[in-house]
Amino acid sequence: MIQAVYKDTVIAQSEKTIFLEGNHYFPAEEVETKYLIPNNHRTTCPWKGQSQYYDISVSDKTPNAAWHYPEPKEAASDIKGHIAFDTSIIEVKDLSE
């Protein structure tokens, strides 16, 4: 079981994450989206496509702490419908260890 925790609040928890480039991508249905606020920040990866970011809001608002690829390129199609977290802000831990 992989968990994403911010300020003692579980933001996401799943046994079905996709681990890609050092990040766990959580299925969107296993993320507490009430803590995510879409923003206008975007980045582009040459092989994954354009990402869209979220701010995290628990007791305060932390910008660009999560992202997803709404229409990933074919090479990254597995992460469609998944959300990843900035591990310098959000603690992502493996509870099975």
Q: What residues pair up with 10 in beta bridges, in sequence order?
A: 5
Which CATH architecture does the domain made up of 2-94 adopt? Beta Complex (2.170)
How far, in Å, CA of 28 to CA of 89, rounded?
19
Q: Is the pLDDT of residue 97 over 80?
A: no
Residue-wise pLDDT for 40-89, tens only, equals 999 999 999 999 999 999 988 899 999 999 999 999 999 999 999 999 99
With cut-offs at 50, 70 and 90, classify the pLDDT of residue 96: confident
One-letter amino acid at 43 equals T
Mean pLDDT for 19-28 is 96
pLDDT of residue 11: 97
